[in-house]
Structure 1
Amino acid sequence: MNDISAVTLAPLSVLLPILGAAIAFTLVRRPVSQVAVTLTTLVATMALEIWLLVDVWINGGAEAVLLGGWEAPIAITLVVDRFSAIMLVVSSAVVLSVMLYASAQGIGDDESPQQPVSIFHPTFLILTAGVSNAFLAGDLFNLYVGFEILLTASYVLLTIGGTGPRVRAGVTYVVVSVVSSVIFLVAIAMIYGATGTVNMADLAMKLGDLDPDLQQLLHLMLLVGFGIKAAVFPLSFWLPDSYPTAPAPVTAVFAGLLTKVGVYAIVRTETLLFPGDRVNTLLLVVAGLTMIVGILGALVQFDIKRVLSFTLVSHIGYMIFGASVANQIGLTATVFYIVHHITIQTALFLVTGLIEYRTGSANIERLGSMAKISPLVAVLFIIPALNLGGIPPFSGFLGKVGLIEGGVINGTPLAWVLVAASIITSLLTLLVMIRIWTRVFWRPIEDAEDPAMRGTEEAERVEAGRKPLRTDSPGLVMPTIALVTVGVALTVVAGPLYDFADKAANDLIHRTPYIEAVLGEEAAQEAQREADVLEDWGISGSDGAGTNQGSEGGSG
């Protein structure tokens, strides 16, 4: 480990999935070999990213890889710090679990396969490469490339099977994504025209010299572009109609990861490029509306996947709330909550896939007696459901407490409104989860039939779907158990994980570790001097220790 620095291998997080996709595509007529290649690639990628995480956990700070034979800021830069490393590992755990689930479903379900294996596996690996590239990107254009890789792969995955609803949802998804990408690309062009660089560490040094009105314009353009991808209100209208139409594994990985890439971009640019509180009021308003509108939408849905899609939107609001309260406690809770939500939301969508696999439906009004039909599925649902609702001592409760504490420390009237909104949203989330639990798992199935459908062909189909013709498939159940277990493990290791999130937040706020890793110690010292004369993030009192840590992290 001392002979080879982990960070020098960071580009393999992107290259391995791309190479795996190329090999998998050549095996279109050998599905078993294709699955083996895909799983081997994902395991190798996850092992590498765990190594990266261990390296930054032990050594702290940030490290950069400069590609293309150039020095920064011209070189293509990949940066590994605490925030990007933890995002890489949790995303790898999710994609590996989902791929195991999808492989079992695609190979074992010959009667009605939900995805052609020859297309699904290479595309899934390309999606994985895009996610890794976005988390590692050290310049805005490379971040844009990561988003475009995601867009291309996700459109293919969303429309797999070619059904009418999937194609319609895919068209909406692509149109919205292209709009956000165009806004992002225009912002990049304007930033380059104004500063002569797109390297984020270099921009952290130069954007402050621009006219404040131009800074504000560039700032808002990036926020709009990332906000669409993160599905914040009012830019979230596309998500509940797009995600539920896809196969269960696709919906699960979309819900767990894709919006979090947008959130990651918001957190990264807000802390590194635009430190301070110039748009915090706007972000607080957006966070509150995202929480409330999302959960109100979930309350009136009757399809489990649509319910979960609306709760996904709602809980994006928690992350934006934590990023905008302008203190280290709130940002720490945001990092922790992102890790929590990726795992829990993906697990819930996989459990929904199990319900649909057993019964043929995910409609709450047409289901019942699932606790009797499959006690295991009932257990697998209630654990992440309570976690999402914020029941102690689960990680969801711990993350929400941290976010609320950050809002209380902020102390502004708007922050107090957001604290109240977060508590109300948590209670309504629990109500939504309990409604699914009581109706789907405990209501007698005889009481679940929709009277308006009696005598129709749809009613006959639903009735046939209710018959427990299938038993729980081990290939589907085991990855779901693994991901639910990871969600529980987040509670068990909450102490060390929260401490790691606190150090990651400290690095994000003080910026010096990131800038030093890319541009060197002299640039980092200049950034620290600028930070000392700004009242960014309202760091004082209890955060003073964090400031010292940030300085130490910069030299480490």
Structure 2
Amino acid sequence: MSAQGLIPLPVLIPALGAAATLVAGRRPRLQRIITQVALATVVAVCAALLYLADRDGTLVLHVGGWAQSVPGMGPLGITLVVDRLSALMLVVSSIVLLAVVVYAIGQGIRDGDERQPVSIFMPTYLVLSAGVCTAFLAGDLFNLFVGFEVLLAASFVLLTIGASPDRVRAGISYVMVSMVSSLIFLIGIALIYAATGTLNLAELALRLDGISTGTRDALFAVLLVAFGIKAAVFPLSAWLPDSYPTAPAPVTAVFAGLLTKVGVYAIIRAHSLLFPGGGLDSVLLVAGLLTMVIGILGAIAQSDIKRLLSFTLVSHIGYMVFGVALGNQLGMSGAIYYVAHHIVVQTTLFLVVGLIERQAGASTLQRLGGLAAASPVLAFVFVVPALNLGGIPPFSGFIGKIALLEAGAQNGSALAWILVAGAVVTSLLTLYVVARVWTKAFWRARADAPEGHLAAAAPAVLLDDIEDIEFADRDSVGRMPIGMLIPTGALIAVGLALTVAAGPIFSYAERSAAEVLDRGQYISAVLAGGER
């Protein structure tokens, strides 16, 4: 198969897998096998695309062979593009998607009561995977919008699975905010098409250069609002901490790890390819600073670990926006590396919260204690990604932050130095937040927890992954299925690999950043290349 033949597979495989799992709705075991095989295949395909994109440059596929159907015009059909940035996003995302679904199978995700297996979880999860890959592969604004909408439809189902009042309430809030974002994006698409007559990203990059600076900045501002909501950039981030914590642990993990990063990816594309020149860089820098600081202050105020991590998720989006807004190659390299790091680490931490709930029957700090003595394995799987998130040397979080701080110093502006200071303060406060979770949930005795007696007395409604039945015996709460531990450990290993292989991985991020900032490579590959 040619390199171009691999490009649509990250979308086609999960889409076809979703159809197959729907057909196998009454056979849960077959559904699980199909889902895992499909996502494992996607990981292999994405790894091949990353190798090919790094070796050969940008890969392009004009679906339908409409590369230049009309003389003098660019591509008219759907264009799929794989460069180093999108290939990296595909690889990291596919690894996370596979690990989370294995974790979900180990946990025993259910819909409704204990007698009703979830027949819709697997197909919906595969549709979500197809939407994520569509967004990363899209070579035009409309298909980027389609990717976002597929994500919205699938995520609403996953967020409300089980139909509890809290989940439905959070789901309604989430879908309303997402629809507002999609509407703003659609308005932006209409305005851009009216101004340029095309939606293909490569053509837009050329045609937008010919319009006035004020119009360009206005169009960019519309897209930034739409993408900022999806990426949870302050002040457009208030919806996230109220929406994510109510979902099951695997759903929260994949949302926290991936969905906001699709928004960050869209910001990178818009900033570097469509609207270079830094017209709104100061606005982005201020937004990045406020996102970092206000997000981490919100995390300090939380007592529930899920909400605490949701606020740290918002906070660390600010680092990525910081790197993008700096506009230099080191800043973009640091942002790309930090995106890959954060997808893995944030997902891992939310999976660990699921293990904490399985072990202790609660995720509220007032009810937790003694977990280090009760389960040294659980203590280990928490402390490694927690230290990584906090940016302790020599973990990947430290490496990404150092690159961003150096890029800020290279920029040299007063605002950049303020961002450098804000980034350092945010990193220290992040370390304080995770240390607080460690001391309260793991180190102190359970008897010293203010509500520890309530957690010990209340039955935990959990699901046995072997017998597939509900159980509430406190003696069983401490059981952590191997099917949940293995994928969590695998993601910890991936996070450590980002540290151990930081040299070559950061070199790849530097090549990605150079390619992103030199938009001529992307434009020439799309307008001149591709499979006919």
2:14 equivalent to 1:14: no
2:64 equivalent to 1:68: yes
1:260-295 CA distance string (max 9 Å, x none): 000000001100000011000000000000000000
Distance 1:115 1:167 in 2: 19
| 2:500 aligned residue | 492
Q: Are the equivalent residues in 2 in contact too, given 1:289–1:317 (CA < 8 A)?
A: yes
RMSD of aligned residue pairs (Cα, Å): 1.8
| 2:279 aligned residue | 278
| 2:519 aligned residue | 511
1:487-533 CA distance string (max 9 Å, x none): 01110110000000001000111112111110128xxxxxxxxxxxx
Per-residue deviation, 1:58:
2.1
Per-residue deviation, 1:111:
11
Which residues of 2 match residues 360-399 of structure 1 at below 5 A? Answer: 360-399=361-400
2:153 equivalent to 1:152: yes
Per-residue deviation, 1:7:
3.0
Distance 1:116 1:9 in 2: 35
Return closer, same or farther for 1:330/1:113 CA change in 2, 3 Å cut-off. Answer: farther
Per-residue deviation, 1:8:
2.4
2:106 equivalent to 1:104: yes
Structure 2 spans left out of the alignment, 5+ residues: 68-73, 461-471
2:25 equivalent to 1:24: no
Q: Are the equivalent residues in 1 in contact too, given 2:361–2:477 (CA < 8 A)?
A: no
| 1:226 aligned residue | 227
Counterpart of 1:475 in structure 2: which amino acid?
G
2:490 to 463, 476, 482: 482
1:397-441 CA distance string (max 9 Å, x none): 000000001110110101000000000000000000000011111
Per-residue deviation, 1:210:
1.2
Return closer, same or farther for 1:320/1:113 CA change in 2, 3 Å cut-off. Answer: farther
Counterpart of 2:59 in structure 1: which amino acid?
E
Which residues of 2 match residues 120-139 of structure 1 at below 5 A? Answer: 120-139=121-140
Q: Are the equivalent residues in 2 in contact too, given 1:327–1:406 (CA < 8 A)?
A: yes
SS of equivalent to 2:199: coil
1:51 to 48, 51, 54: 48
Distance 1:111 1:200 in 2: 44
Q: Are the equivalent residues in 1 in contact too, given 2:112–2:162 (CA < 8 A)?
A: no
Structure 1 spans left out of the alignment, 5+ residues: 522-556
Counterpart of 1:37 in structure 2: which amino acid?
I
Per-residue deviation, 1:113:
5.7
Counterpart of 2:266 in structure 1: which amino acid?
A
Distance 2:81 2:114 in 1: 40
Distance 1:295 1:163 in 2: 29
SS of equivalent to 2:163: coil
Distance 2:414 2:88 in 1: 33
Return closer, same or farther for 1:240/1:431 CA change in 2, 3 Å cut-off. Answer: same
Distance 2:58 2:409 in 1: 30
| 1:421 aligned residue | 422
SS of equivalent to 1:480: helix
Q: Are the equivalent residues in 1 in contact too, given 2:102–2:487 (CA < 8 A)?
A: yes
Q: Are the equivalent residues in 1 in contact too, given 2:358–2:477 (CA < 8 A)?
A: no
Return closer, same or farther for 1:216/1:53 CA change in 2, 3 Å cut-off. Answer: same
Return closer, same or farther for 1:86/1:114 CA change in 2, 3 Å cut-off. Answer: farther
Distance 1:409 1:430 in 2: 26
SS of equivalent to 1:118: coil
| 2:466 aligned residue | none
SS of equivalent to 1:129: helix
Per-residue deviation, 1:459:
7.8
1:77 to 55, 61, 79: 79
Per-residue deviation, 1:9:
1.7
Per-residue deviation, 1:125:
0.2
Per-residue deviation, 1:5:
2.4
| 2:181 aligned residue | 180
| 1:331 aligned residue | 332
Counterpart of 2:525 in structure 1: which amino acid?
A
Distance 1:113 1:94 in 2: 28
SS of equivalent to 1:276: coil
Return closer, same or farther for 1:114/1:300 CA change in 2, 3 Å cut-off. Answer: farther
Per-residue deviation, 1:333:
0.3
Distance 2:116 2:99 in 1: 17
SS of equivalent to 2:62: strand
What is the percentage of aligned positions where both structures have the same residue?
56
1:233-255 CA distance string (max 9 Å, x none): 00000000000000000000000
| 1:315 aligned residue | 316
Return closer, same or farther for 1:467/1:309 CA change in 2, 3 Å cut-off. Answer: farther
1:24-66 CA distance string (max 9 Å, x none): 011111000000000010011111111001111222x211100
| 2:244 aligned residue | 243
SS of equivalent to 1:243: helix
Counterpart of 1:507 in structure 2: which amino acid?
E
Distance 2:146 2:66 in 1: 19
Q: Are the equivalent residues in 1 in contact too, given 2:230–2:260 (CA < 8 A)?
A: yes
Distance 1:176 1:482 in 2: 33
Per-residue deviation, 1:114:
12
Distance 2:117 2:321 in 1: 37
Distance 1:115 1:277 in 2: 54
Return closer, same or farther for 1:77/1:320 CA change in 2, 3 Å cut-off. Answer: same
1:316-340 CA distance string (max 9 Å, x none): 0000000001210000000000000
SS of equivalent to 2:119: helix
1:209-247 CA distance string (max 9 Å, x none): 112222111110000000000000000000000000000
SS of equivalent to 1:507: helix
Q: Are the equivalent residues in 1 in contact too, given 2:4–2:59 (CA < 8 A)?
A: yes
2:37 to 20, 37, 40: 40
Q: Are the equivalent residues in 1 in contact too, given 2:46–2:87 (CA < 8 A)?
A: yes
| 1:550 aligned residue | none
SS of equivalent to 1:79: strand
Distance 2:115 2:396 in 1: 33
Q: Are the equivalent residues in 2 in contact too, given 1:360–1:465 (CA < 8 A)?
A: no
Distance 1:91 1:149 in 2: 16
Query: Number of residue pairs matched?
Result: 512
Distance 1:511 1:5 in 2: 25
Counterpart of 1:31 in structure 2: which amino acid?
P
Moved over 3 A (4+): 109-116, 462-470
